[in-house]
Amino acid sequence: MQDRNKRRKYGLGPIERMKPPTDMKARQDSAISTEGDWINLDTTVSTSPDQLALAPGYLQREWTANGRRYFHYKTTSPILPFWAYLSARYQVKRDRWIDASGNAIPVEIYYDAKHPYNVDRMIYGVKKSLDYFTKNFSPYQHKQVRILEFPQYAQFAQSFPNTIPFSEGIGFIADFRDEEAIDYVFYVTAHEVAHQWWAHQVIGANVQGSTMLVETLAQYSALMVMEKEYGKEKMQRFLRYELDRYLSGRGGELVAEMPLVLVENQQYIHYRKGSLVMYALRDYIGEERVNAALAKFIKDHAFENAPYTTATELVRYFREVAPPEYQNVITDLFERITLYDLLAKEVKSVKRADGKYVVTLTVESKKMRGDAKGEEKPVPIDDWVDIGVFAKGKKKEDLGKALFVERRRITKPAETFTIVVGEEPFKAGIDPFNKMIDRNPKDNVKSL
């Protein structure tokens, strides 16, 4: 969902900080609206006679009068006071998704007839997203899914109840003839469908950390759908992109960087760092545990009224399912600003008589803890980090086929690992998939 409110008010006096999650007065308002809680929407909109007008809800009636075309929409379940109207000369592609009970849910794409290129990809992304989210989180609460194209005056997508406006510039006219390109149409579709759970089922209070519940969880949900479609090896490029954006974002912070659990509508944190944190959490404690925590969180807080839940409450759900050895990991991920310097210093390979290869990898590791002002202090490292060995890829920058990937406990500034693989190695390194928040991820992997 696009952030519509600016955290900083330049030239308008002091910056108003968000309230802490313990402020019970602030918890009376949701992060979406300070004017209302859950509502039922009953709306009529008119438009030009050659256009289709749409709003969240289900079409009750359509008619023409006085040279105008009218549409009456009504919701059948509570929604947040957060919706939009769109009208255009739309072409419509219709499909359907079948839920676990055999019910058919219409999937509709409203688009400019000149922009049909990625419509089928969006439908496929909707179906894959609904498959994963309904299986792992909770049932889908609506009876349709609609994606609506709008001109590229702006480039974002935004999720309203069962209705997703989607800019032509980031979806409908995207060029994917390069098979190696990141399929961001599929990703954005999954992210926006995920908001039907994260915001439109569970919405947090208007306090610090509220956008973690909306955007970070939508990022995680989309990452899981992406991984199921493309495999873990393909995720490295996306995670590297998220890491680069987080590092550049924190470098330009003008007020105060906050830990993820206290994020103050800072996009480089709740989007970029959020992706890395949730992917790392999944990697440490397992997808089943993370999803079990999220499913219980939804069960306990979906469609609730004030006082609204908070990100600090969600972290407690993660702690409940995490083994004891990962409790400090959760603290580092969510409640601190933690960074690493990981380096593949030297790598060698020797072929044995039996045809296998002995890889000797020396790595250097540093761990820092940052504060709101950007100052960083070294702290002792005691972390589980991936060590990997890879065959030659299609391109020089690719990792190639994974010959060995295993999480090892790092407790010293410099350590050497000896690994035996069955095929000729080409690269080896530490945290090769860029799951850690590393200040210089380019030196994690070294060629032999």
DSSP string covering 327-341, please?
HHHHIIIIISEEEEE
Find all residues with CB under 8 Å of 376, minimum gap 6, and list them.
339, 368, 369, 370
Q: What is the pLDDT of residues 312-354, one digit of tens each?
A: 999 999 999 999 999 999 999 999 999 999 999 999 999 999 9
Count of Cβ atoms closer than 10 Å to residue 85 Cβ: 16
Residue range 55-84: average pLDDT? 96
| CATH 2.60.40 is held by the domain 338-447 | yes
Q: What is the pLDDT of residues 17-40, one digit of tens each?
A: 799 999 999 999 999 988 889 999
Closest by Cα among 122, 176, 130, 175 to 149: 122
Closest by Cα among 379, 384, 437 to 410: 384
Count of Cβ atoms closer than 10 Å to residue 117 Cβ: 15
Classify residue 162 by burial, with Cβ atoms within 10 Å: 0-12, 13-18, 19+: buried
- Residue 198 CA, distance from chain mean position: 11
Closest by Cα among 243, 323, 260 to 288: 323
Q: Inform me whether the pLDDT recorded for 362 exceeds 80.
A: yes
Q: How far apart are CA 250 and CA 372, in angstroms?
A: 10
SS3 289: helix
Residue boundaries of the structural domains of the chain: 26-332, 338-447
The owner of tokens 């349709």 is 144
Least confident of 29-33, 231-235, 293-297: 231-235
Q: In what order do the strands lie in the sheet with 42-47?
A: 42-47, 68-74, 58-65
Find all residues with CB under 8 Å of 367, minimum gap 6, and list them.
338, 339, 340, 378, 379, 380, 381, 383
Token pair recorded at residue 249 = 């974002």
DSSP 431: S
Beta-sheet pairing, 68-74 with 58-65: antiparallel
pLDDT of res. 35:
85
Q: Inform me whether the pLDDT recorded for 7 exceeds 60.
A: no
pLDDT band at 179, cuts 50/70/90? Answer: confident
Stated length of the chain: 448
pTM of the model: 0.93
Closest by Cα among 353, 318, 347, 346 to 332: 318
Q: How far apart are CA 241 and CA 377, in angstroms?
A: 25
pLDDT of res. 181:
76
Closest by Cα among 118, 405, 367, 360 to 236: 405
Per the omega criterion (within 30 degrees of 0), is the bond before 307 cis?
A: yes
Q: Is the distance from CB of 339 to CB of 370 less than 8 angstroms?
A: yes
Closest by Cα among 83, 181, 201 to 140: 201
Second CATH level (architecture) for the domain 26-332: Orthogonal Bundle (1.10)
Give percent above pLDDT 70 in the chain.
96
Q: Is the distance from CB of 271 to CB of 285 less than 8 angstroms?
A: no
Q: How far apart are CA 101 and CA 139, in angstroms?
A: 10
